[in-house]
Amino acid sequence: MPTYILIATILVLSVIGYYMGRSTAVARNGGKSKGLHSLPGYYGYYMALWCALPALALAFLWLVFQNSIIEGMVLGGVDVQNPSLFMTDVKNYVENGIASGGVTDTLVAAADRYVSLKQYSAIMLSIGAIALAVVGLAYSQTRVGPTLRSRPKVEKALMIALMAASTIAILTTVGIILSLLFESALFFEKVPLTEFLFGIQWSPQTAMRADQVGSSGTFGAVPLFAGTLLITAIAMAVAAPIGLMSAIYMSEYADRRVRSVLKPLLEVLAGIPTVVYGFFAALTVAPFVRTLGQSVGLDVASESALAAGVVMGIMIVPFVSSLSDDVMTAVPQAMRDGSYGLGATKSETIKRVILPAALPGIVGAVMLAISRAIGETMIVVMAAGLSANLTANPFEAVTTVTVQIATLLVGDQEFDSPKTLATFALGLVLFVVTLILNIIALRIVRKYREQYE
Amino acid sequence: MTALDFTTHTIPLEGKSKISAKNVNLWYGEKQALHNINLEVGENQVTALIGPSGCGKSTFLRCLNRMNDTIPSCRIQGDISIDGDDIYAQSLDVVHLRARVGMVFQKPNPFPKSIFDNVAYGPRLHGLSESKDHLEHIVKSSLERAGLWKEVSDRLLSPGTGLSGGQQQRLCIARAIAVSPEVILMDEPCSALDPIATAKVEELIDELRENFTIAIVTHSMQQAARVSQRTAFFHLGVLVENGPTEGIFTSPIDKRTQDYVTGRFG
């Protein structure tokens, strides 16, 4: 029986279990649902869960372990030099009728054994799982009755399911951190930590051949950090004032109709794919900046930090404006009334009451926007350039941490050279910085929430 | 529903009138909330506005310092003047009006600033202080007049939101009197307070009467009887009766007033 039919069967059994649970509970309560500990439906869910969960768990574990067990049994009967290659041959022979080392008698025998074991396993699984489902049904039906507290039990099962769902997200994060840590450790075996963090020369191309010239590979990441910082600073110089001012307009001046149109429109900016921003920056803004610079006698590189930073700033305007607008709208009307009642005008009220009250929230919004800007990749890949210049001049091309990660990992790469491993170290730095920023931002926002009520 | 009874029984004010409202009508969108209100508020008196919920008393109070301006759908007709100055005149700056007519709200609403900054807010706004010392003097005397100085003198820089409800409300009163208004409007100032805090605020209102003209909206008829010299009874947007407080509570002229003050409705 194929696995999907097995799973469908178990599910059908559990649906049957649901109706059995309902009717059994009602029948054992003298034919009425009043007086049962829980609503009849909960007895249904109780039986359905007892039917489905053990059987599905068995099937899952079986499928996880069956391959290695079967392969062990097949290989146990033969004597070959390279077991994993032989196993691949067996599977290829079974599926396609070909094998790399030619079809031998041993191979054919092993293939037969493999096929029969697989069939046997599938039959056993079907019997076992369906039997377990039926046993679960029978057992739970004996327990169904007016006094069984089925509702708390069902709700507990639900809670565990919810917990499992949230655990997946956490485990993924932990997995990412661990992989970053391990790969970075490999990198730091080859390149000292101090050189990476404090070196000012970034030239990650390593020699492929011993006699290659000029590709020693130096991994001083300071130019990347400086470039990231420069572009982030430019982006925030654009996003913070524009975002804050539009938030003030939306929350305090715009009437409700204007706001209901304007806010979604601004949020559309956040929905534009970053790659679109990227070529907008590279093909429209960068040449514009260059011509503008030339017209006032400045020498601007065709890929400048300014172009990338400005476009990135536009991209994160909605982060600042939307969150700031929310916190400013959350300032109670009573505060505004109090201020107006003392003879303050609208702008005085905004300046002296609303902005100070909303400041922690606004700072939180800006922090989130900064961490977004630091991690942004596509715009800088396309518009900021690749040269690792250590400069504070916004008209020059710079490169960022994310750009280097992207370019170093594009294409086929060997994963044991410092060049590719460096990306993990860069990723780790990026992760730590944005994590710290996010924690600070969330703390500030939370503190703000406690201020009223 | 029976047709509205628009009659107003007025026992004329003795002494000087501070605020005079003539033929005031007010609409929220299509709905008329005030019908032809004529009311005199006497100088250095406490005038209580009473009536069941939704009768228009708070709306009328908010007309007196034009707080209704902040509500877009609100439309007002008629004349309201303070010392003869029409407060809805084109030439009048609403900021100046609100400096003359202070307001204390139903729920204490101190700003999330220090106690000092709360009281200093108005004086700073209107440039009332010439120096830092002068500002400190204004803050101190306002807190003293609000009966709060003794309780907060040692923690002027701690946040005003950290005070108890009754203290917060007295802080709001101190904040209002710091700009030396002529009139103080109070919109159910004690409704969020416990009886002890209420007693303190009522005592304060009685003291403030010496220097300020006060109009207070209240749901408590005992409070109206305790603190006010004149009472105006509103019902369904109509000013039913106004006159000396004692008369309203002991010998009301209109049947609706009588029903309300004896607790038959509302």
Q: In terms of pTM, does the model score above 0.90?
A: no
Cβ contact, residue pair B121, A342, below 8 Å: yes
Residue in A334, A344, A451 nearest the CB of B125: A344
For residue B125, which residues of chain A lie inside 8 Å, CB to CB? 342-344, 348, 352
Q: Does residue A135 have a pLDDT over 90?
A: yes
For residue range B192-206, list pLDDT tens digits in order. 888 888 998 899 999
Please give the average per-residue pLDDT across B139-144, as a whole number. 93
For residue A351, which residues of chain B lie inside 8 Å, CB to CB? none
Name the closest residue on chain B to residue A337, using Cα atoms: B67
CB of B72 less than 8 A from some CB of A: yes
For residue B72, which residues of chain A lie inside 8 Å, CB to CB? 255
Grade residue A210 by pLDDT with cuts at 50, 70 and 90: low
Name the closest residue on chain B to residue A253, using Cα atoms: B70
Q: Radius of gyration over alpha carbons of chain A, in Å?
A: 32
Q: Does residue A413 have a pLDDT over 80?
A: no
At B266 the pLDDT is: 52
Bridge-based pairing of strands B213-217 and B183-187 is parallel
Distance CA B80, CA B22 (A): 6
- Inside any domain, residue B104: yes
- Inside any domain, residue B174: no
For residue A343, which residues of chain B lie inside 8 Å, CB to CB? 95-99, 122, 125-126, 179
Q: Which residues pair with A218 in a beta bridge?
A: A203
Name the closest residue on chain A to residue B64, using Cα atoms: A341
Mean pLDDT taken over chain A: 86
Q: Measured at the alpha carbon of residue A233, what is the angle toward residues A230 and A238, in degrees to the nearest 5?
A: 130
At A10 the pLDDT is: 93
How many CB atoms within 10 Å of residue A419?
A: 20
Residue in B95, B111, B113 nearest the CB of A343: B95
Q: Does residue A211 have a pLDDT over 90?
A: no
Q: Does residue A300 have a pLDDT over 60?
A: yes
- Inside any domain, residue B256: yes
Question: In chain A, how long is the greatest CA-to-CA distance?
Answer: 100
At A450 the pLDDT is: 52
- Inside any domain, residue B134: no
Count of domains forming chain B:
1
Please give the average per-residue pLDDT across B182-190, as a whole number. 92
For residue range B57-90, list pLDDT tens digits in order. 999 999 999 998 888 889 999 999 999 889 998 8
Tokens 């606004």 found at:
A362
Question: Could you tell me the CATH superfamily of domain A202-449?
Answer: MetI-like (1.10.3720.10)
Cβ contact, residue pair A344, B112, below 8 Å: no
**Start-end of CATH 1.10.3720.10 domains in chain A:** 202-449
Q: Percentage of residues in chain B with pLDDT exceeding 90?
A: 59
Cβ(B255)–Cβ(B233) below 8 Å: no
* Domain that residue B49 falls in: 9-110+180-261
Cβ(B49)–Cβ(B61) below 8 Å: yes
Q: Can you give chain A as a three-state secondary structure string?
A: CCHHHHHHHHHHHHHHHHHHHHHHHHHHCCCCCCCCCCCHHHHHHHHHHHHHHHHHHHHHHHHHHHHHHHHHHHHHCCCCCCHHHHHHHHHHHHHHCCCCCCCCHHHHHHHHHHHHHHHHHHHHHHHHHHHHHHHHHHHHHHHCCCCCCHHHHHHHHHHHHHHHHHHHHHHHHHHHHHHHHHHHHHHHHHCCHHHHHHCCCEECCCCCCCCCCCCCCEECCHHHHHHHHHHHHHHHHHHHHHHHHHHHHHHHHCCHHHHHHHHHHHHHHHHCCHHHHHHHHHHHHHHHHHHHHHHCCCCCCCCCHHHHHHHHHHHHHHHHHHHHHHHHHHCCHHHHHHHHHCCCCHHHHHHHHHHHHHHHHHHHHHHHHHHHHHHCCHHHHHHCCCCCCCCCCCCCCCCCHHHHHHHHHCCCCCCCCHHHHHHHHHHHHHHHHHHHHHHHHHHHHHHHHCCCC
At B1 the pLDDT is: 45
Residue in A255, A338, A345 nearest the CB of B109: A338
Q: Does residue B111 have a pLDDT over 80?
A: yes
Grade residue A202 by pLDDT with cuts at 50, 70 and 90: confident
At A213 the pLDDT is: 56
Q: Does residue A68 have a pLDDT over 90?
A: no
At A453 the pLDDT is: 43
What is the phi/psi pair of residue A287, to 5°? -60, -35
Higher pLDDT among residues A441 and B28, named by residue: B28
At A422 the pLDDT is: 86
At A8 the pLDDT is: 93
- Inside any domain, residue B195: yes
Please give the average per-residue pLDDT across B29-49, as a whole number. 92
ipTM above 0.90, yes or no: no
Q: Percentage of residues in chain A with pLDDT exceeding 90?
A: 33
For residue range A81-117, list pLDDT tens digits in order. 788 888 888 888 888 877 776 777 888 888 888 888 8
Cβ neighbourhood burial of B233 (10 Å; 0-12, 13-18, 19+): buried
How would you label A254-282 residue by residue, b for 16+ Cβ within 10 Å and e otherwise? beeeebeebbeebeebeeeebeebbebbb
Residue to test with chain A: of B98, B101, B185, most A Cβ within 10 A? B98
Residue B246 CA: distances (Å) to CA of A44, B13, B164, B235 = 71, 14, 33, 19
Cβ contact, residue pair A352, B125, below 8 Å: yes
- Inside any domain, residue B27: yes
* CATH number of the structural domain spanning residue B47: 3.40.50.300
Bridge-based pairing of strands B213-217 and B46-50 is parallel
At B59 the pLDDT is: 92
Please give the average per-residue pLDDT across B255-265, as a whole number. 85
